[in-house]
Structure 1
Amino acid sequence: MSETLKKKLPSSDPKMTKPTRDTIISPPTGVFVPVPTFFQPASNNTLQAKIDVETQVKHSVYLARNGIRGLVLLGSTGEAIHLSREERFELISSVRKGLNDAGFLDYPIMAGVLINSVDEALEWLQDFSRAGAQWGLVLAPGYFGLAVNQENIKDWYTVVADNSPMPILIYNYPGVTNQIIVTPETYTHLAQHPNIVGCKMSHGNVSYHVQVSLDPEIDHDKFRVYSGFGQQLGPIVFFGAAGVIDGLAAMYPRTLSRLMDMAEKRPIEPKTLKEIQAIQFAVSRAEEFIGKWGIVGIKEGVYRVLGMGTLEGGRLPLRGKLPEGEWDKWEAITSRMKALEDAQ
């Protein structure tokens, strides 16, 4: 680690400057991309592949130029758990600088916090705030799975939010947290906290999306609801959700952005509704690829569609690529998405 980076990182017990009610800003509505973390080609001289900051910045700027309203760095797709503290700081600060240099000042960045310890969650948030992120996307603490009750989830998020140097969002992804589900009642409670400004639900329970998005006890200008699945975009935005944080948009940003732009307009004319339905059909079909192949599939898709990154996949244990011929099996779906993307 460079001496410059060491000086920027806070100590292990930082004195945090907490945001005040007047300085708290909620994230915008729209499509956010949970960007993958790019790595350089593997080398026999290193324990694991190094992060590829140049490609990371290039991809982020491309998304900003093509309609994406914000980024999620170092979320689950970004493999935050596979990076060191120094790498996480370098990645966020480099993307922030790259966006600024490209003219995207104050471009929205959420940063993933994927740790169960309150102290370490606050350490990550402090680092990310100094690196240039505006919000922390904080994963529900699920190591102990079903042993965790809703009251303890409320208390855990309250302690983190009370002490976080920036606003946070609740991140519920049962697939990586031993099937923890945050209930609508818990969201209603936590949405009252001034430093909790939204949530991401990465599960298929659309009823929960709708309940939280329409809850009259929640200030929806302040507390924003996002899905982790693009196949839910049209339906949940129609019923009040703020948007999606979606991996398919890493490859086809203009198409997902177009879908979002039309879905949030009111009233929806019959001609517009027909286009929404056509794009949503194509997106939902393409999301089957994301659901099957996850991070490895997203990285290969970005490489094949945009020519960015490599076919190396992620870091161990996710290193690898699609089986031979697998991408070709999805040709009918990817061709439809390419035609939509080119038309935007």
Structure 2
Amino acid sequence: MRPRISSYTLLHSKPLIPCVCIYIPPRVTTNSSQFITHSIIFIKELAMPRSTIAAKAKPLPHGVYTPVVTLYKAGDPDQDVDHDAMYKQCQALVNAGMHGLVYLGTNGELALLTAPERKAILETAVRAVKDLNKPDYPIVAGISAQSTKETIMNAKDAASAGANFALLLPPSYWAKALSSDAHLSYFRAVADASPIPIVIYNFPGVTAGVDLDSDQLTALASHPNIVAVKLTCGNVGKLTRLTSKFTHEQFGVFGGSSDYLLPTLHAGGSGCVTGMGNIFPASTSGVYDLWKAGKIQEAKDLQDDVANAEWACKKGIACTKYGAWYYLGRDLGLADESTWEMRQPYQPLGDAMKKWTLETLGVLEKAEKERPWRS
């Protein structure tokens, strides 16, 4: 006779701790040596093996991060970056409750920006958070490039601009020519040279299908300057395999969107990086805050609306930026829609898609304004 497990518990920010409720059937007494022996064996089987790597000196803090969209000067045919607008935007996101900000990611249009523009955007963000008396607030900088040399240069530029973490995609221009060993060597070489810790960015949709698996990520997690991964691949199985091996301090595991934030947290993940934060920063960070406070049903209710609203963001950056203009930008005095459009050659949304985007996002409008979880 083996004991029957009834549940397990996730202590916030801690590893999963098995909790066994032992069912003692009729005719089996508590002093039965056979039953006790089976109970001990069963409990040992539940204990999950953990990696023995050391905790990182500077882990990426838990929470919800926004990959901040880049803003351009209204009516400017050259679409120069509008730093005044981005300063306001940064402070608004921080004040709304975001736990960290990511610049120069996919939503930030990294591939459409020059190197000087990238560094200037980071300097604006760092100045904005310092002016809020938050000098240690997490600013994560996208540093992705196609060569090891250029990526290391980007990492050094990001550090000199004041960013405290770097986000890095695998190289992919000649994806089929790169072996698994080549990818591992690339990340390790960049991490060796980077002045700031590296967060791996796994997003097959923008890397010609390159999809780092859990074995590759486990190997990279042992590097002392590789502190976390962002799984925009959406693979929950991969996420769970990683959280079963590492504590947050060893290697943080973040989801790549907020529509599965609560499942990520229940699985032992550290949070998420979500484009939805550009539109509804209080609501997306609110799911994490409610979960951390132990208000699981309230977190679930808010998560449901977040998941349904995020469907709009799945349709592309133009939808995300349009939603950000409508629900956030206008309240910041950044009312010119062209400020929030993508840089050319990418085109603005058509009227039908604009209408659909606002209707899809609208399920969160009331919650974002009222924020009942903060009362």
Query: With structure 1 as the length reference, what TM-score do the two structures score?
Result: 0.86
Displacement of 1:204 after TM fit? 2.3
After superposing on structure 2, the runs of 4+ consecutive aligned residues of structure 1 that deviate more than 4 Å are: none
What's 1:300 paired with?
322
Q: Deviations over 1:27-60 (max 9, x none)?
A: 110000000010112435xxx2100001111111
CA distance in 1 between counterparts of 2:247 and 2:324 reads 36
Displacement of 1:73 after TM fit? 0.6
Displacement of 1:141 after TM fit? 1.1
What's 1:138 paired with?
168
Indicate which of 25, 38, 56 corresponds to 2:71: 38
Q: Deviations over 1:305-332 (max 9, x none)?
A: 11136433111222x3221143333455
Q: Which moved more, 1:324-333 or 1:157-166?
A: 324-333
* 2:59–2:248 CA contact under 8 A, matched in 1: no
SS in 1 for 2:101: strand
Q: Which moved more, 1:73-82 or 1:256-265?
A: 256-265
Indicate which of 276, 279, 296 corresponds to 2:302: 279
What's 1:246 paired with?
274
SS in 2 for 1:57: helix
* 1:61–1:98 CA contact under 8 A, matched in 2: yes
What's 1:261 paired with?
289
What's 2:143 paired with?
113
The letter for the 2-side match of 1:118 is T
CA distance in 1 between counterparts of 2:247 and 2:239 reads 15
Q: Higher Cα Rg: structure 1 or 2?
A: 2
Displacement of 1:116 after TM fit? 1.5
* 1:146–1:179 CA contact under 8 A, matched in 2: no
CA distance in 1 between counterparts of 2:117 and 2:366 reads 37
Map of 1:51-200 to 2, 5 A cutoff? 51-200=81-230
SS in 2 for 1:258: helix
CA distance in 1 between counterparts of 2:220 and 2:207 reads 19
Indicate which of 332, 337, 340 corresponds to 1:311: 337
* 1:38–1:309 CA contact under 8 A, matched in 2: no
What's 1:10 paired with?
none
Displacement of 1:280 after TM fit? 1.4
Displacement of 1:23 after TM fit? 9.2
CA distance in 2 between counterparts of 1:129 and 1:185 reads 29
The letter for the 1-side match of 2:367 is L
SS in 1 for 2:253: strand
Q: Unmatched 5+ residue regions in structure 2? A: 1-53
CA distance in 1 between counterparts of 2:107 and 2:189 reads 26
Displacement of 1:340 after TM fit? 1.2
CA distance in 2 between counterparts of 1:174 and 1:309 reads 34
Indicate which of 60, 80, 91 corresponds to 1:27: 60
Q: Unmatched 5+ residue regions in structure 1? A: 1-20
* 1:227–1:245 CA contact under 8 A, matched in 2: yes
CA distance in 1 between counterparts of 2:157 and 2:56 reads 19
CA distance in 2 between counterparts of 1:196 and 1:119 reads 18
Aligned-residue sequence identity (percent) comes to 29
* 1:230–1:246 CA contact under 8 A, matched in 2: yes
Q: Deviations over 1:172-223 (max 9, x none)?
A: 11011001111111111111110000111111211111111222xx343131
The letter for the 1-side match of 2:301 is A
CA distance in 1 between counterparts of 2:335 and 2:110 reads 17
Change (3 A) 1:151 1:85: same
The letter for the 2-side match of 1:91 is I
Q: Does 1:290 align with 2:316?
A: no
Query: With structure 2 as the length reference, what TM-score do the two structures score?
Result: 0.79
Q: Deviations over 1:54-89 (max 9, x none)?
A: 111111111111110100011111111211111111
Aligned CA RMSD, in angstroms, stands at: 1.9
Q: Which moved more, 1:309-318 or 1:149-158?
A: 309-318
CA distance in 2 between counterparts of 1:309 and 1:112 reads 27
CA distance in 2 between counterparts of 1:139 and 1:309 reads 33
CA distance in 2 between counterparts of 1:295 and 1:87 reads 19
What's 1:220 paired with?
248
CA distance in 2 between counterparts of 1:118 and 1:22 reads 26
* Number of residue pairs the alignment of both structures matches: 312
